[in-house]
C-alpha cells in the first residue's frame, strides 16, 4: 500500500511538472466544460447564421483565433463593434483601399490603440476575401445621451439620425443579469443607476439590428464584440431573439484562468464555445 501511495504521489508530481514545463496558449471548451478540438468548433460555426465572438479586446489569442475562424469559414460576412454606424462610409472606403489607416483614424472617432496588431490583420483578410465589413456599434454620442437622459432622448432624433439606430424605443429587460448588475455601483461599474444599463442596451440593440439587416442566408455572419456583449446569451443574443428569433446563433467567449487543464465549473454555460487563455497572457495595450 505504501508503495502504491508513493507511486501515485510521484505521478501527481509528474503531471504538475508537465503542466508547468509545457505551457498552453489556449484551450477550447464547449458550454458543458468539455475540451473540444478546433475542427469540432469550426464545423458548428459553419452551420450558424450568426457567430458572436466575445473577445478580450487586448488579448492577442482572441484576435489570432478570429483569423483562424475566418480561414475555416471560407464564406462569411463580418461585423465589428469597433466601428460605429456613422463611420460606415469611412470604413467602406478603407476596405476599398481608398483610405489609409491614418485617414481612417482621422475620419472616424479614432482607431483603437491596438488596431495595427489586432484588427488590421482581420480587415486585410476580409479585403483579400472581398468581404464587406459592417460597422455595427451605435454612435457614441447617442449612447452617452441615453446614459444621461434615458431612452426618451432617442425620441428627439430625426431623419438620417434614426437610420443609424434600431426601432425606437428598443425592447428592454432590466432583469437580465448583465443589466441588473449595472444598476448598482461597483468597482467595474462605478456609475450605476437605471440609465447605465440602458446605455449598454442601446449598444447591444444597435449591434443586433445591424446584424439582422446584413446577415445573408447560407453565409455565417461573424460579429466581433467584447465578451460582455454576448456572454450568458444576453446582450446582443437577447436582442437577436427579439428581432429575428429564427436565426441560429453560436457564441464564443474568451476567459482567463491560471490552470488551463480544466474549465472552472462556474464558467460553464458562458457561451457555446469558450476560448480559455492563461491569466498571464501578454496584453496588446
6 assigned to some structural domain: no
Average pLDDT, consecutive stretches of 10 residues, N- to C-terminus, the chain (285 residues): 52 47 92 98 98 98 98 97 97 97 96 97 97 96 96 92 92 95 67 86 98 96 98 98 98 97 97 98 95
145 assigned to some structural domain: yes
Question: Quick one: pLDDT at residue 184?
Answer: 72
- Per-residue 3-state assignment (H helix, E strand, C coil) for the chain: CHHHHHHHHHHHHHHHHHHHHCCCCCEEEECCCCECCHHHHHHHHHCCCEEEEEECCCCHHHHHHHHHHHHHHCCCEEEEEEEEHHHHHHHHHHHCCCCCHHHHHHHCCCCCCCHHHHHHHHHHHHHHCCCCEEEEECCHHHHHHHHHHCHHHHHHCCHHHHHHCCCCCCCCCCCCHHHHHHCCCCCCCCCCCCHHHHHHHHHHHHHHHHHHHHCECCECEEEEEEHHHCHHHCCHHHHHHHHCCCCCEEEEEEEEECCCCCCCHHHCCCCCEEEEEECCCCCCC
Question: Quick one: pLDDT at residue 10?
Answer: 46
Domain total in the chain: 1
Question: Quick one: pLDDT at residue 17?
Answer: 44
Question: Quick one: pLDDT at residue 160?
Answer: 86
15 assigned to some structural domain: no
61 assigned to some structural domain: yes
Question: Quick one: pLDDT at residue 186?
Answer: 56
17 assigned to some structural domain: no
Question: Quick one: pLDDT at residue 14?
Answer: 46
**Over the stretch 114-126, which tens digit does the pLDDT of each residue have?**
999 999 999 999 9
- The residue range of the domain holding 256 is 25-278
Question: Quick one: pLDDT at residue 56?
Answer: 97
Q: What CATH code is carried by the domain that includes residue 150?
A: 3.40.50.11550
Question: Quick one: pLDDT at residue 22?
Answer: 84
Amino acid at each position: 500500500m505504501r508503495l502504491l501511495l508513493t507511486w501515485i504521489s510521484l505521478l501527481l508530481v509528474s503531471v504538475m511538472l508537465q503542466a508547468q514545463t509545457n505551457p498552453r496558449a489556449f484551450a477550447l471548451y464547449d458550454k458543458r466544460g468539455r475540451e473540444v478540438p478546433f475542427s469540432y468548433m469550426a464545423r458548428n460555426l459553419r452551420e450558424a447564421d450568426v457567430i458572436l465572438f466575445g473577445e478580450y479586446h487586448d488579448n492577442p489569442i482572441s484576435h489570432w483565433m478570429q483569423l483562424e475562424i475566418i480561414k475555416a469559414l471560407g464564406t462569411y460576412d463580418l461585423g465589428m463593434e469597433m466601428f460605429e454606424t456613422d463611420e460606415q462610409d469611412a470604413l467602406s472606403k478603407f476596405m476599398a483601399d481608398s483610405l489609409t489607416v491614418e485617414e481612417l483614424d482621422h475620419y472616424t472617432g479614432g482607431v483603437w490603440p491596438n488596431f495595427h496588431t489586432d484588427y488590421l490583420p482581420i480587415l486585410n483578410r476580409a479585403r483579400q476575401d472581398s468581404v464587406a465589413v459592417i460597422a455595427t456599434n451605435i454612435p457614441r454620442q447617442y449612447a452617452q445621451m441615453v446614459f444621461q437622459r434615458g431612452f426618451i432622448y432617442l425620441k428627439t432624433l430625426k431623419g438620417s439620425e434614426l437610420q443609424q439606430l434600431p426601432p425606437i424605443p428598443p425592447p428592454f429587460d432590466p432583469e437580465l443579469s448583465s443589466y441588473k448588475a449595472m444598476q448598482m455601483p461597483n468597482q467595474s461599474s462605478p456609475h450605476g443607476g437605471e440609465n447605465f444599463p440602458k446605455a449598454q442596451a442601446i449598444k447591444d440593440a444597435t449591434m443586433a439590428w445591424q446584424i439582422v439587416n446584413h446577415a445573408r442566408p447560407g453565409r455565417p455572419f461573424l460579429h466581433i464584440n467584447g465578451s460582455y456583449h454576448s456572454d450568458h446569451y444576453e446582450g446582443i443574443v437577447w436582442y437577436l431573439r427579439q428581432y429575428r428569433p429564427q436565426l441560429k446563433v453560436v457564441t464564443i467567449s474568451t476567459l482567463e484562468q491560471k490552470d488551463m487543464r480544466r474549465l472552472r465549473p462556474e464558467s460553464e454555460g458562458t457561451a457555446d464555445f469558450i476560448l480559455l487563455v492563461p491569466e498571464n497572457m501578454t496584453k496588446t495595450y
